[in-house]
């Protein structure tokens, strides 16, 4: 496991440099979700694949930017699912973006996730790793220096409501509005990594990416985005559920690009989600 975390650190340093120096713009290709790829998407994916290939314990990799999993070492123990540059379309407006990693044993599924991590490329470059605890590090020169263990309180003040409001189901709209009526502040950039990182660091709140009339299964991918963050939120003392109130980490996964509605937050807000969704 340590060598995988070291590969993630090397990848982060190279991707940070690429964000700062490489030209932006679109590649000639699209990913399996039909989204046109940015040159940075493809470059970040290549960087991570190169660095993970140096870890002998990695058997198979699956990337949001690749249509199928790739076996890189038959004798490896772990499977790594990753989103190489989540929110990459925000780079050209100079907002924070991130890389997300889920480390699995046996198969790509919620119950088989054994560790996860993400990197935030913002004013500073930070790494959060969750094995037993959720631990935050900051890049200083070429080293990631430990900052703190992340812990969510019982309740927060931040509300990050994703998806197109025009297509929200009525009960979801009522949930979001009920939090604002309690004085919650809107904190939503359109980048999953900085939006979830902010709630973790500030100690509480709710991030929601629900199913909607146009996308009933939501938009965020189980293997590359949802399961990794569910693990991190739970290790920080928070909760991560789907629209039926199930722990996201109990969910299986068919196609590796499968999506699910997802809710991440502290206890009070997640209880609110259950209250409004049970009434639906
Ligand atoms: P919307 C970025 O494209 C992304 O995959 C996540 O980083 C982010 O949380 C979500 O999509 C934003 O989607 O529909 O709210 O713009």
134 CA → ligand 1 middle, Å: 23
Domains of the chain, residue spans: 2-149, 158-278
* Res 115: pLDDT: 98
192 CA → ligand 1 middle, Å: 6
Cβ(59)–Cβ(80) under 8 Å?
A: no
Q: Please determine whether the domains at 2-149 and 158-278 fall in the same fold group of CATH.
A: no
Distance, CA of 206 to CA of 157 (rounded, Å)? 8
State if residue 111 touches ligand 1 by the CB under 6 angstroms criterion: no
Q: What is the CA radius of gyration of the chain?
A: 18
Structure tokens given for 45: 């994916």
191 CA → ligand 1 middle, Å: 6
Distance, CA of 114 to CA of 104 (rounded, Å)? 5
33-62: pLDDT as tens digits = 777 788 999 999 999 999 999 999 999 999
What sign for the dihedral angle of Cα 12, 16, 18, 23? positive
State if residue 191 touches ligand 1 by the CB under 6 angstroms criterion: yes
* Res 6: pLDDT: 98
Distance, CA of 249 to CA of 116 (rounded, Å)? 12
pLDDT-based confidence at residue 179 (cuts at 50, 70, 90): very high
75 CA → ligand 1 middle, Å: 36
State if residue 36 touches ligand 1 by the CB under 6 angstroms criterion: no
CB environment 83-92: b (16+ within 10 A), e (fewer): bbbbbbbbbe
What is the overall mean pLDDT for the chain? 96
Structure tokens given for 211: 């199913």
At a CB cut-off of 8 Å and minimum separation 6, what does 241 contact?
A: 247, 248, 262, 263, 270, 273, 274
Helices (H) and strands (E) in the chain, counts: 6, 15
pTM beyond 0.75: yes
205-226: pLDDT as tens digits = 999 999 999 999 999 999 999 9
* Res 167: pLDDT: 98
Distance, CA of 33 to CA of 36 (rounded, Å)? 9
Start-to-end CA distance of the chain, whole Å, equals 42
> What CATH architecture does domain 158-278 belong to?
3-Layer(aba) Sandwich (3.40)
The preferred substitution site among 220, 222, 224, 259 for testing ligand 1, maximizing ligand atoms within 8 Å of CB, is 220
Q: What CATH code is assigned to 2-149?
A: 3.30.540.10
Cβ(24)–Cβ(40) under 8 Å?
A: yes
Distance, CA of 170 to CA of 218 (rounded, Å)? 16
């Amino acid at each position: 496991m340590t060598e995988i975390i070291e590969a993630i650190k090397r990848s982060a340093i190279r991707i940070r440099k690429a964000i700062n120096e490489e030209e932006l713009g679109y590649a000639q290709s699209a990913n399996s979700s039909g989204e046109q790829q940015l040159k940075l998407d493809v470059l970040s994916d290549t960087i991570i694949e190169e660095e993970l290939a140096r870890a002998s314990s990695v058997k198979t990799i699956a990337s949001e930017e690749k249509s199928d999993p790739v076996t890189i070492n038959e004798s490896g123990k772990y499977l790594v699912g990753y989103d190489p540059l989540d929110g990459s379309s925000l780079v050209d407006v100079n907002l924070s973006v991130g890389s997300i990693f889920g480390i699995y044993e046996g198969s790509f599924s919620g119950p088989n996730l054994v560790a996860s991590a993400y990197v935030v490329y913002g004013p500073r470059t930070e790494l959060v790793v969750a094995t037993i605890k959720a631990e935050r590090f900051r890049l200083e020169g070429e080293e990631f220096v430990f900052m703190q263990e992340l812990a969510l309180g019982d309740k927060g003040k931040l509300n990050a409501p994703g998806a197109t409001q025009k297509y929200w189901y009525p009960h979801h709209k009522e949930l979001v509005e009920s939090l604002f009526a309690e004085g919650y502040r809107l904190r939503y950039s359109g980048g999953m990594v900085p939006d979830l990182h902010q709630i973790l660091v500030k100690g509480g709140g709710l991030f929601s990416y629900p199913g909607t009339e146009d996308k009933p299964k939501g938009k965020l991918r189980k293997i590359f985005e949802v399961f990794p963050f569910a693990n991190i939120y739970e290790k920080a003392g928070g909760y991560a559920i789907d629209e039926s109130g199930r722990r996201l980490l109990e969910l299986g996964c068919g196609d590796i690009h499968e999506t699910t509605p997802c809710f991440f937050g502290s206890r009070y807000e997640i209880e609110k989600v259950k209250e409004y969704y049970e009434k639906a």
